Amino acid sequence: MQRAREWLREASSVAALTGAGISAESGIPTFRGAGGLWREFRAEDLATPEAFARDPRLVWEWYDWRRGLIAHAEPNAGHRALVELAQRVERFTLITQNVDGLHDRAGSRDVLKVHGDIWMVRCTACGRQTRDDRVPLPELPPHCECGGLLRPGVVWFGEPLPDNVWREAERATRQAEVFLVIGTAAVVYPAAGLVPLAKAAGAKVIEINLDETPYSAQVDCSLRGRAGELLPEVIA
């Protein structure tokens, strides 16, 4: 922990990659942890274009349920610690796989949302993309003014990540002197590939996670514990 603290104090460019684990202490279930993300379904079964084509109402019930959870949740000390860190470091980039928007609500700016945003909806007919934060939604599945079916503005399995956001995330990772990887199982690509990319570019990589991940043995410092407790300590 002491080494990690020193690296962060000396760094002029830092990048952080967060996953569902940083929102766990806000009461948002993780994808692969105990209890999973929804009753008998797995994210891999619902977060896909095929599932949406087959049963848009079921997929929207899942997203509407998650939007309700998130709307009643608050950012936690882990989210806030990253806002604090951004104010101290000359160049700080926050990259998140989370679609919940809790980093923004904590005060983070210019968050790179590589898997999209649950509060955005996109029309499958006219392509119009708008923010819709009504919970619950008045009708499932929701429709656009043009009559087209709306989909959540998130990246599903098998779909490409938003090009400009992804390029920016890679650039920030390559330039980071210190790369924090927080609360992610690091099994979903290409996002997880940012960890070896940071390492190859010469960054000190610090992992914060409750459990081991496929990268725990390769990072420079692997801190075992809750992000809400460890992040405030490591940025102190």
Q: Is 209 in the site for ligand BV8 (CB under 6 A)?
A: yes
Q: Pick from 17, 21, 180, 203: which binds ligand BV8 (CB under 6 A)?
A: 21
Any bridge partners for residue 154, and if so which?
116
Q: Which stretch binds ligand BV8 (CB under 6 A): 3-11, 23-31, 51-59, 173-181?
A: 23-31
- Taking CB under 6 A as the criterion, the residue among 4, 14, 25, 79 binding ligand BV8 is 25
Rg (CA), the chain: 18
Under the binding rule (CB under 6 A), the answer on residue 113 touching ligand BV8 is no
Chain residues 39-68 in contact with ligand BV8, contact rule CB under 6 A? 43-44, 47
Least spacing, CB of residue 20 vs ligand BV8, in Å: 3
Site membership for ligand BV8, residue 226 (CB under 6 A): yes
> Prior bond to 136 cis, omega within 30?
yes
Closer CB to Zn ion, 54 or 128, in the complex: 128
Instruction: Please give the Cα distance from 113 to 169 (Å, whole number).
Output: 9
Q: Cite the active site residues.
A: 115
Q: What does the chain come to in residues?
A: 236
Q: Is 200 in the site for Zn ion (CB under 5 A)?
A: no
Compute CA 157 distance to the chain's CA centroid, rounded to the nearest angstrom.
Answer: 15
> Residues 137-176 vs Zn ion: string with x where CB under 5 A?
-------x-x-x----------------------------
Residue 159 is a binding residue for ligand BV8 (CB under 6 A): yes
CA distances from 113 to 56, 102, 119, 137, 230 (A): 23, 11, 12, 23, 23
Which of 126, 187, 200, 236 is close enough to bind Zn ion by CB under 5 A? 126
Return the H-helix or E-strand segment holding 163.
Answer: helix 163-175
Hey, what are 99's tokens?
């679609």
Give the separation between CA 141 and CA 59, rounded to whole angstroms: 8
Q: Which residue has the tokens 């991940």?
A: 213
- Kindly provide the b/e burial profile for residues 95-113, where b requires at least 16 CB atoms within 10 angstroms of the residue's own CB: bbbbbbbbbbebebeebbb
- Take residue 128 and report the two structure tokens written for it: 């119009």
Among 210, 216, 220, 232, which residue sits at the site for ligand BV8 (rule: CB under 6 A)? 210
CB of 110 to Zn ion, least distance (A): 28
CA 189 to chain centre: 13
CB of 165 to ligand BV8, least distance (A): 12
What residues line the site for ligand BV8 (CB under 6 A)?
19-21, 24-25, 30-33, 43-44, 47, 97-99, 115, 154-160, 183-185, 187-189, 208-211, 213, 226-227
What residues line the site for Zn ion (CB under 5 A)?
123, 125-126, 128, 144, 146, 148
